Amino acid sequence: MIWTIFKKELKDTLRDRRTVMMMIVIPTLIFPIILNVFVGISAGFEKEAAEKKVKIGLCSTQTSRLEQELMQLPKELGKKQFIPMSDTTKVMEAIHSDSIQIGLYIPANVKEYLAKKEAIPVVIYYDATEMGMKERAETYLNYISEKLRKERLIELKIDERKLIPISMNYRNVASDKEMIGKLAGGILPYIFIAFGFLGCMYPAIDLFTGEKERGTIETLLTTPVARWKLLVGKMGVVILSGLTASTFSILGLFFSIEVLHVVESKELLDIIHGILTPGFIALLYCLLFPLIVFFAGIMIPIAVRAKSFKEAQSIISPLNILIVLPAMVGFFPGVELNTITALIPVVNIVLATKELIAGTLEWPLILLAFATMCALATLMVVISYRKFGDEKNVVN
């Protein structure tokens, strides 16, 4: 009987355009679109920044060695144009009006500083809201500074190596897989969770509040089918919709990587292929299944209680933020799965998935996270059953 109800509800759900959009179309397209736009825009910005001719206001006597070095900077460091300026007030005004992007104040007595082998106090004017301008100024001055430092060392007859008391040699023991898992591994569970929630939302509202609103629940409840069977059949479709939305979002991501080639680095691609093994995917679904049941269990009592589609939507939509925000914990590299985080719903699954991606599994903690979510999912199913069984809720 549950199977009969499940099949009917699934058919009904798949014929609802709004649900199909949320369950399949949007999750599939969102990553190819976002990644393409993102990659396109960032590549465009990089190109534009590299090609951009930076106008540098030079407030100095323009006769010292430093000015000469500035004029002879290699072209590879970026296009630039020096504009002589009389005072720093004009430099600041020019930066504000964007007629120059950087201003350099070089003191008149550069020769003295050079002779005494002291640091020349150069003032750099820039607008922090203009990305990359401070860095461009630093690049130019560091280039000259390094050149002058080397000259001084030669003049002073000092071996540069003798100025370095400790030579630091780093050996990274984390594998590339671990690095990706710990640093970027949060994105995968985040996507899964965000779309899992959205995927559950419309079917939950449609199959419970919608039935109430359309008056179909009354006829359904007069059939000789136990209410728990009706609930399980309907809930099954809500869970399947959540899992389908998550799966399609991952497929969209996979499509972006494999077909649209948004990841160009071969090493990175090899690591991604190494992560996405059948075993990993099976474990990922094992972790995410109770979470999606938990989501369905949160939404169903709300949908059962709500009197209209709008009312249910207005309660569940803001809940989305509450549920998905904890999933962002996965983006912070320092947060790890431990006995406390394993007990926090959503956070535990995000962190467990990160461990899974990084290959640094601690089975007792993973099992604790899984058991926590199973317990919470069961609790929410019980609450859903009680609400669905309450006659005040099922009929308007």
Partner 1 sequence: MNPMIRVEHLTKTFSLNSRQRKELGTTDTTVTAVDNLSFSCEPGRVHALLGPNGAGKTTTLRMLSTIFQPTSGTILIDGIDAVKDSQEARRHIGFLTGSAGLYARLTPNELIEYFGKLYDVPKEILLERKEKLFSLLDMHDFQNKRIGKLSTGMKQKVSICRTMIHDPQVVIFDEPTSGLDVITAENIIHLINDCKSQGKTVIFSSHIMSEVDLLCDDISIIYQGKLLFNDTMDAFRNQMQAPNLTSEFIRIVQQSKNVAL
Q: 342 by DSSP, 3-state: which?
A: helix
User: Which of 290, 309, 178 is CA-nearest to residue 243?
Assistant: 290
**Cβ proximity of 303 and 208 under 8 Å:** yes
Please identify, among the stretches 92-100, 165-173, 215-223, 266-274, the one whose residues bind partner 1 according to the rule CB under 8 A.
Answer: 215-223
**Cβ proximity of 133 and 127 under 8 Å:** yes
Is residue 4 near partner 1 by the rule CB under 8 A?
yes
Give, in order, the Cα–Cα distances in Å from 39 to each of 31, 249, 263, 304.
Answer: 11, 18, 9, 43
Is residue 216 near partner 1 by the rule CB under 8 A?
yes
User: Which of 386, 360, 373, 378 is CA-nearest to residue 185?
Assistant: 360
In whole angstroms, how large is the CA radius of gyration of the chain? Answer: 31
Is residue 21 near partner 1 by the rule CB under 8 A?
no
The single residue among 153, 225, 283, 324 that binds partner 1, judged by CB under 8 A, is 225
Angle, nearest 10°, between helix axes 278-305 and 227-258? Answer: 130
The single residue among 12, 67, 178, 355 that binds partner 1, judged by CB under 8 A, is 12
Is residue 150 near partner 1 by the rule CB under 8 A?
no
Please identify, among the stretches 129-137, 209-217, 236-244, 254-262, the one whose residues bind partner 1 according to the rule CB under 8 A.
Answer: 209-217
Is residue 218 near partner 1 by the rule CB under 8 A?
yes
Is residue 213 near partner 1 by the rule CB under 8 A?
no
- In the bound complex, what is the minimum distance in angstroms from residue 209's beta carbon to partner 1? 15
- Structure tokens, 150: 């080397």
Is residue 1 near partner 1 by the rule CB under 8 A?
yes
The DSSP 8-state label assigned to residue 379 in this structure reads H
Q: For partner 1, which is the closer residue by CB, 4 or 68?
A: 4
The helix/strand count (H/E) of the chain reads as 18, 4
Q: For partner 1, which is the closer residue by CB, 11 or 152?
A: 11
- In the bound complex, what is the minimum distance in angstroms from residue 392's beta carbon to partner 1? 7
**Interacting residues of 129 by C-beta distance below 8 A, sequence separation 6+:** none
The single residue among 11, 47, 117, 147 that binds partner 1, judged by CB under 8 A, is 11
- In the bound complex, what is the minimum distance in angstroms from residue 51's beta carbon to partner 1? 55
Is residue 223 near partner 1 by the rule CB under 8 A?
yes
Pairwise CA distance, residues 19 & 237, whole Å = 12
Q: 57 by DSSP, 3-state: which?
A: strand
Q: For partner 1, which is the closer residue by CB, 5 or 237?
A: 5
Question: In angstroms, how far is CA 392 from the centroid of its own chain?
Answer: 43
Angle, nearest 10°, between helix axes 187-204 and 26-51? Answer: 140
Please identify, among the stretches 51-59, 141-149, 223-231, 371-379, the one whose residues bind partner 1 according to the rule CB under 8 A.
Answer: 223-231
Site string for partner 1, 377-396 (x = CB under 8 A): --------------xx-xx-
Is residue 307 near partner 1 by the rule CB under 8 A?
no
Is residue 315 near partner 1 by the rule CB under 8 A?
no
Q: For partner 1, which is the closer residue by CB, 157 or 392?
A: 392
Is residue 161 near partner 1 by the rule CB under 8 A?
no
The single residue among 150, 214, 307, 310 that binds partner 1, judged by CB under 8 A, is 214
Pairwise CA distance, residues 300 & 17, whole Å = 21
Please identify, among the stretches 148-156, 222-230, 248-256, 317-325, the one whose residues bind partner 1 according to the rule CB under 8 A.
Answer: 222-230
DSSP strand pairing (54-59 vs 102-105): parallel
* Neighbour count for residue 378 (Cβ, 10 Å): 14
Please identify, among the stretches 5-13, 65-73, 250-258, 294-302, the one whose residues bind partner 1 according to the rule CB under 8 A.
Answer: 5-13
Count the residues of the shown chain that bind partner 1, applying the rule CB under 8 A: 24
**Cβ proximity of 179 and 356 under 8 Å:** no
Q: Which residues bind partner 1 (CB under 8 A)?
A: 1, 4-5, 8, 11-12, 15-16, 214-216, 218-226, 391-392, 394-395
